[in-house]
Amino acid sequence: MTRRLTVAQAIVAFLQNQFSSRDGREVRFFEACIGIFGHGNVAGMGQALEQDPGLRYILCRNEQAMVHTAAAFAKMSNRMRSIVCTTSIGPGATNMATGAALATINRLPVLLLPGDIFAKRTVAPVLQQLEFSGSQDVSVNDCFKPISRYWDRINRPEQLLTSLPEAMRVLTSPAETGAVTLCLPQDVQAEAFDFPEDWFRQRTWFVPRPHADRRLLATATEWIRKAKRPLIIAGGGLIYSDASAALAQFVSQTGIPVGETQAGKGSLAYDHPQQLGAVGVTGTPGANITAREADLVIGIGTRYSDFTTASKTAFQCPTVRFININIAEFDSHKQSALPLTSDARACLEELTAALGDFRVDAEYSARVKEHREKWEIEVDRIHGIRIGPPISQGEVIGIVNQVCSAKDVVVCAAGSLPGDLHKLWRTRDSKGYHMEYGFSCMGYEIAGGIGVKMAAPEREVFVMVGDGSYLMMAQEIVTAVQEGHKLNIVLLDNHGFSSIGGLSRACGNRGMGTDYRYRQGDSYSGGTLPVDFVANAASLGAHAVRAKTGSELRTALVDARKRSETTVVVVETAIDERVPGYESWWDVPIAEVAKSPAVREARSKYEKARQGEKILS
């Protein structure tokens, strides 16, 4: 039997019958389709979505934002669910490129369906078509090839029969997942074909928990037993594996301390005895000192970005060895590690059983406890800084953290906030900290907040965003209001790009291009630009208020939690009251020659610091 449908109609019918399953829990994989229509998809995908509402359609305001929303939804769902994104050809499609890169870098499944140029070519060049003199088989959608984990162009209807199942294989693979792009020529979208009825059956994609090689697991057990100063680096893969409980049991039994990456923050509750907090460039003193002295590092679900390894300076013990537990073979071999290519939860459970009564010695445990106690005092100090107005960013973080309940979610992505949140936020739930730091993409925060709320409507979502990032994609407030996805948005106004301004000055420069000021002659040295963020947010449909003091901020946030609509609380923060870095370094090359004495001094310090880089493959 066959079903005669257009290509677009067949896609919509196929996608709503895809399910994922792990540990006996089966869920529908695609929650919805977010799209903006243009001539490249309105008569194809647009018609199909209108005809068949089984795949819910959502209108957003920006194509990049729709992919951010989809990625955040997938992240909050531990990659067991996702969202489809459809656009027209040309600018509609290429606007998704940043979002696609973000999804792939963060290993998050999103399905992109950009419209494409005519497959029949006879009417070329069509509106918004890129002409390339060397080939007629190139469009702007080819730019998605290096930032997609799977890419295809559907030039004939029957190609769907093999391409869509392959797309699903990649999307549901914990090792290979990322952005999947299927380019849809606008004429092919509307073309009819007799699709086999069986092709539309419900398909369940089982997400396995592969186990590590027995011999390598035995070697890892031996290494751990011999280690004097072992340290766990908990990455995002640990959370995606739903392995937080297994980690807590493992470290409670062994006493091995844990340092968390940005993606792995929340793996262990902040008050767990083995929790040292953030590790790396934005890490705590205790985690970074422990990393520097560790003779064994156990990476779980981490890809060892430069922020985690402090640009390869974090691990300085001459005899340090690495064990990597990772579902992706590519990542499990990093740092010349003993590779336990496996599911994080399955491997932790096996290691727990294999280690039996092993526990680190009392002296090491005492040092971990001392690091923890000192850090909690430091967090209280920073949270308690009282200046201004404008108030400190540390105080703002402390107030938001205190207002949030254990199950609330804080969302952030770019600027100086991620580093401060990584250090200061006290996590109590594995899904309570949602940071996009693989791409650290400005503009992600509000769009991402929508995806988080869609995935967990029972939770309160607190989006923390700087003024620079807000101005890049504030319009998605309209989408949140339209869909009834209530967000609590805390907008920190420091009149510019605080993070890069601070980095510029640390490099010996003067923060050029980082302050929001009027042009005066050849520089931006005039008065501060008067951006009324409260009026802006209100014009987009949000309830908007300004808080000048910590007390006003707390009152506004308590009120926001009670409300049913999206609230934006604007608070001015002091740009020069910064949370310090601790026991770490980041490789940002300084100009080798310069007229400025400050730059030359910064270069001298840089050359000394980079001598600590310990290169491992």
Tens digit of pLDDT for each residue in 270-305?
Answer: 999 999 999 999 999 999 999 999 999 999 999 999
More confidently predicted of 615 and 385: 385
Site of tokens 């920073």: 382
Quote the DSSP letter at residue 89.
Answer: S
Q: How far is CA 384 from CA 306, 377, 380, in A?
A: 31, 10, 6
Q: Where in the chain is the domain with CATH 3.40.50.970?
A: 2-206, 385-572
Query: pLDDT for 208-237, tens place per residue?
Result: 999 999 999 999 999 999 999 999 999 999
φ and ψ of 211, to 5 deg: -100, 155
Q: Where in the chain is the domain with CATH 3.40.50.1220?
A: 214-374
Neighbours of 258 (CB within 10 A): 27
Handedness of CA 552, 555, 561, 566 (dihedral sign): negative
- The first and second tokens of residue 137, run together, are 């088989």
- The first and second tokens of residue 296, run together, are 């064994």
Residues 6+ apart with CB under 8 A from 579: 382, 393, 394, 419, 420, 423, 424
The band of 575, judged by pLDDT with boundaries at 50, 70 and 90, is confident
- The first and second tokens of residue 125, run together, are 């060049």
Q: How far is CA 29 from CA 21, 66, 78, 84, 240, in A?
A: 9, 17, 12, 10, 15
Over residues 244-267, mean pLDDT: 98
Q: Report the pLDDT value the prediction gives residue 434, as an integer from 0 to 100.
A: 98
Closest residue by Cα to residue 378 from 256, 284, 249:
284
Query: pLDDT for 76-117, tens place per residue?
Result: 999 999 999 999 999 999 999 999 999 999 999 999 999 999
Q: Report the pLDDT value the prediction gives residue 617, as an integer from 0 to 100.
A: 57
CA distance 102 to 471: 19
Question: Got the DSSP string for 298-312?
Answer: EEES----HHHHTTT
Q: Are 575 and 588 in contact (CB under 8 A)?
A: no
pLDDT > 90 in the chain, percent: 95
214-374 maps to CATH 3.20.20.70: no
Closest residue by Cα to residue 72 from 516, 355, 365, 479:
479
Query: pLDDT for 364-376, tens place per residue?
Result: 999 999 999 999 9
Q: Report the pLDDT value the prediction gives residue 511, as an integer from 0 to 100.
A: 87
- The first and second tokens of residue 375, run together, are 């850090």
CA distance 160 to 93: 20
Q: How far is CA 320 from CA 187, 295, 296, 434, in A?
A: 59, 4, 5, 31
Asked, as a colleague might, if the bond just before 125 is cis with ω within 30 of 0, I would say yes
Q: Average pLDDT of the chain?
A: 96
CA distance 206 to 504: 48
Handedness of CA 410, 278, 344, 177 (dihedral sign): positive
Domain with residues 2-206, CATH architecture: 3-Layer(aba) Sandwich (3.40)
pLDDT reading at 616 higher than 80? no
Superfamily of the domain at 385-572: Thiamin diphosphate (ThDP)-binding fold, Pyr/PP domains (3.40.50.970)
Handedness of CA 580, 582, 588, 591 (dihedral sign): positive
